[in-house]
Structure 1
Amino acid sequence: MKRIAALTALLAAALTTSALAQQPKTVFTVVRPTQWGSYNLNPFTPGDQHLLPTNSVIYESLFYINTLNSKVTNVLGTKYAWSKDATTLSVTTRDGVKWTDGKPFTANDVAFTFNYLKKYPALDTSAIWKSGLESVKANGKTVTFTFAKANVSTFQYIAHQPIVPEHVWSAITSPLTETNQKPVGTGPFVFDTYSQQALRVLKNANYWMPSQPYVDAIVWLSTNSNDAALLKLLKGEADYGYIGVSDPEGGYAKKGANNTYYWPVTGDNFLYFNTAKAPFNDAAFRRALSQAIDTRDVAQKAYAGVANAAHPSGMIPGQQQEWLTASARNTTVKYDPAAADAALSKAGYKKNAQGQRLGKDGKALPAFKILVGAGWTDFITMAQVISENLKKVGINTQIDQQAWSSYAGGLQTGTYDMGISWGWGGGPTPYYLYNQSFGPEFSAPVGKTAASNLARYTNPAITAALAQFRSSSDEATQKKAINTIASTIMRDMPWLPLTDRFEFSLYNTSRFTGFPTKQAPYNAGTADDTIGARLMYLNVKPK
């Protein structure tokens, strides 16, 4: 009763009187250690700068691919098949689905969605059309994707694209600025209420899975830091939080019988160098800085030994054995401040009498900013270690904490110096991380929004290797391409892989069961605003 009263009080401060009059019986509460942006439910908004429920519970994709085990879960698609020459993909769409305005979902909506991306290229953040797609057509229940040449690696991007209704979006001619505040989707929930403190969605009474979801509503509560979000979980004021705490075992799980966590390794955390800005456009400078940073200490202090230092290829442990040669696996960036200091001087960045590092022009280098999310204790800790390390070689830094919109915006528009973030790409093979991180089509001039090439680094050898990978289904050819990419980035260091990155799911299981776990990994533990999170919202049920 105390928890219900506390939650009601929290919601009362944020939700309207009319909304409170319609309180649902079972409410699943998510706590978010960040401030969300404006009232935007546009699934096409670049950089996930729409509100959290948009692509997790309102709009649905054709399929969901679990990056932990490559399992494909059917959503709006029920079957898919490639032609023998891998130039045609056929997808069968689901019967009996309705949009939340009551109109039927059809294959035409799928074809429209992908052709809409072609019409407005800025929406195509996965570069589907730039990957050789020539046409998308609907015929009955089937949607046919035709490519100029074999490109089976594009399937993940097609599978995960949110599908929108043609009868709504065909009338929207400015999709980049559209806020879509009355969204029409096929998902298990419909949007109800927005404020800066709380968001709420209600169960879709006409959802195509008649027995699910098991809860009547989901509420997201906003906090200004990881610590504040964690406290709500510990007090039982929230059921789930995607929170990067430093010690999930000792600092959370041991503090209550109902406290559990699910942290599968699905990526890395990186220190991105803005290669569009001097001196970070100099590979020698980047290599020296990388050598000056103790990634083992970064991992130890940020995650209390739960995480390991990342491999310099940026590849997760589960993929290294299969995709890297033995020599590449054994490659390291050895922490050596003395060697880093000498390398900087050799590259033309000498020190003055006060020990301050100078640029090649002889002028003192400024204090470089390290961009992190405001209140994200794990990233802040990483930045603190990095700052201490770089100071030893005469590089001064400042930790720049920004709210999500300006944090993501700074990374994507290239206005930062250095920034800590996860890899903006990933999948069942290393191709997906490398493609979205270094493909030219995912970059942009400084000031323009880059979809995911945050370092703004491209290299002809990498571009050619990416093309080689996606045009072949031969495993040996694909492995050769991956090793070309890995060796190139380990030489040029457009980023420094810092730590293994987990999916940071924390649960308070006092009221609900059915969460994804290591024993039941039906999703990859992905964040609360992703298409994978939809499966959690469908499966959690009251005890």
Structure 2
Amino acid sequence: MHSKVKMLLSLSLIVTAALSSAALAQNPKTVFTVVRDTQWGAENYNPFIPGDQHLLPTNSAIYESLFFVNSINGKVTPVLGTKYAWSKDNKTLTVTTRPNVKFTDGQAFSASDAAFSFNYLKANPALDTSGIWKSGLSSVKASNASTLVFTFATPNTPIFQYIAATPMVPEHLWKDVKDPSTFTNTKPVGTGPFMAESYSQQALRVLKNPNYWMAGKPAVDAVVWLATSTNDAAQLKLLSGEADYGYIGIPDPKAYAAKSADASYWWPTNNINFLYFNTVKGPFKDAAFRKAVAQAIDTKEVAQKAYAGAVPAANPAAIFPGQQKEWLSKAAKATFDVTAADKALTAAGYKKDSSGTRLGKDGKALPSFKILVGAGWTDFITMAQVVSNNLKKVGISTSIDQQAWGSYSGGLQTGSYDMGISWGWGNGSTPYYTFNAAFNPDFSAPVGKTAPSNLARYTNPAITKALKTFSTTSDEATQQKAIDTIVTTVMKDQPWVPLTDRVNFGLFNTSKFTGFPSAENPYNDASPDDTAGARLMFLNVKPK
């Protein structure tokens, strides 16, 4: 039997075992299959809790937001909102909501549901992971069935990106949910193009919403997610035709595309991969230590080995290419120099003993530090290997700590790690979003508590002030000065090391479907399949 046929039969058995007999009786004709190099947790479709806790279709297929903001070009696509406008003083944002939209239980969606969704975050601050209510917003009200009014005590125009992405839930169901942090929402009711249908640890399936508000969409009857444990296993499913799409960080996308006429990829840069230092944990508390460690890391080697030259080393200012022309006012150069790093460590009080082992300021050998990465993530594992080899040259011992998503993200957010490799947990159409998510005190937390996005737990009054300045003005020159202040301060204190540009890892098998996003048709930013941007892909792909 042909190997491809064997694999397709294997897929059929997996899905058959995973999905209920009632679901299979519906027999969707066109099924778009997504492969994920991860294992998901319990059945949970709560759109307000962090993405590692709810299932992948939640915010991509079932629930919808007001708008989608494309991170690579800033384009705003209307969803449940049709238009928006700021007042002259930037203290009022008025959104017109879409008419003739129904939730999947048949109830009408209105601006009241939208107002409820935002006020629900205010009533449950732990769910407000974007800090919408900590950023000058004072009220959200529906003035009528199709008008939503946001009032701000202080201007904050960058907050639009987070307002746009907030999921909308039905007030008539959620008003009775008393503890949303533990609510698993196993029978989700949204306005999205698909409805939750079947769940297992190996496969998820959602079915087409027959009453979806967008005429003629979606063009597929179902979307299925398949779980694998590694990037390599996910890539094999794509190459065999078992899957149509995967968000997979493989080392060399060009090599993947060369393996089959049906294999293609789109990897647009919209973020950066960082080596984060846990700045509340010694010796990473010491900026001099962090700066010397950063100097010992060859980011060009990191990028070359992790992505075979397909993705470059990051700019040390942590501003990615599409934004450098507008926002990088002064050239920033990498400082890689092993000899200088070795001397800087000694000068900072971290001497070497006769065997070349690096000592702490107390004269005792430094422990072996762990570099936290996602289990099976070959690109991050390779980055960690290069970093580990680089640091060995200055007498610092490290080991690579591979963790499944829950403990990986949990370790970063609760501050239990030494060093960790991850992306910027906030990005957008200007560098403000990267720096605000990374260094705003509102997004930090004491060790042991969950920090939404300030993974380094680093704050600085100069940065806090500059972030506020940027967000409360629309004057470009003033905003540029604020970004300059942030860049200068961050590069001096080195709470992270920008390693490589971060791309969205869109891999496709085009044998059965057309309409994938691309550089020629960038309707999304090659968004991960568990985010609002992926909804546009699920709506645009259609059978050949």
Q: TM-score, normalised by structure 2?
A: 0.98
Q: Is residue 47–residue 408 contact of structure 1 (8 Å, CA) maintained in 2? A: no
- How far did 1:244 drift? 0.7
Match of 2:242 in 1: 237
1:15-164 map, 5 Å: 15-140=19-144, 141-164=146-169
The residue identity in structure 2 corresponding to 1:87 is K
From 296, 309, 313, the counterpart of 1:309? 313
From 270, 273, 297, the counterpart of 1:266? 270
Aligned residues: 539
Q: Is residue 286–residue 493 contact of structure 1 (8 Å, CA) maintained in 2? A: yes
**Runs of 4+ off more than 4 Å:** none
Match of 2:457 in 1: 456
Cα shift readout 1:323-342 (whole Å, capped 9, x = no counterpart): 121x3xx2223211111111
**Identity in percent:** 68
The residue identity in structure 2 corresponding to 1:192 is E
Please state if 1:275 is matched with 2:262. Answer: no
Match of 2:226 in 1: 221
Please state if 1:169 is matched with 2:174. Answer: yes
- How far did 1:358 drift? 1.2
From 168, 184, 189, the counterpart of 2:189? 184
Cα shift readout 1:373-427 (whole Å, capped 9, x = no counterpart): 1110000000000010011111111101111111111111111111111110011
Cα shift readout 1:242-291 (whole Å, capped 9, x = no counterpart): 11111111x21111001100011111111011111111111111101100
- How far did 1:47 drift? 4.9
Q: Is residue 251–residue 378 contact of structure 2 (8 Å, CA) maintained in 1? A: yes
Please state if 1:387 is matched with 2:388. Answer: yes
Match of 2:478 in 1: 477
User: 464-473 or 349-358, which moves further after superposition?
Assistant: 349-358
The residue identity in structure 2 corresponding to 1:74 is P
Counterpart Cα distance in 1 of 2:337 and 2:256? 35
Superposed CA RMSD: 1.1
Counterpart Cα distance in 1 of 2:364 and 2:200? 48
Q: Is residue 132–residue 163 contact of structure 2 (8 Å, CA) maintained in 1? A: yes
Q: Is residue 357–residue 394 contact of structure 1 (8 Å, CA) maintained in 2? A: yes
Counterpart Cα distance in 2 of 1:539 and 1:505? 15
The residue identity in structure 2 corresponding to 1:446 is V
The residue identity in structure 2 corresponding to 1:497 is P
Cα shift readout 1:355-381 (whole Å, capped 9, x = no counterpart): 111111112111111111111000000
Counterpart Cα distance in 2 of 1:510 and 1:324? 42
Uncovered stretches (5+) of structure 1, i.e. residues with no partner? none
- How far did 1:542 drift? 0.3
Q: Is residue 193–residue 208 contact of structure 2 (8 Å, CA) maintained in 1? A: yes
Match of 1:205 in 2: 210
Counterpart Cα distance in 2 of 1:180 and 1:362? 54
Look up the SS of the partner of 1:100 in the other structure.
coil
Counterpart Cα distance in 1 of 2:415 and 2:308? 32
Match of 1:336 in 2: 337
Counterpart Cα distance in 2 of 1:61 and 1:341? 50
Q: TM-score, normalised by structure 1?
A: 0.98
Match of 2:378 in 1: 377
Counterpart Cα distance in 2 of 1:16 and 1:361? 62
Uncovered stretches (5+) of structure 2, i.e. residues with no partner? none
- How far did 1:4 drift? 5.2
Look up the SS of the partner of 1:398 in the other structure.
strand
Match of 1:518 in 2: 519
The residue identity in structure 2 corresponding to 1:348 is G
Look up the SS of the partner of 1:219 in the other structure.
strand
The residue identity in structure 1 corresponding to 2:533 is G
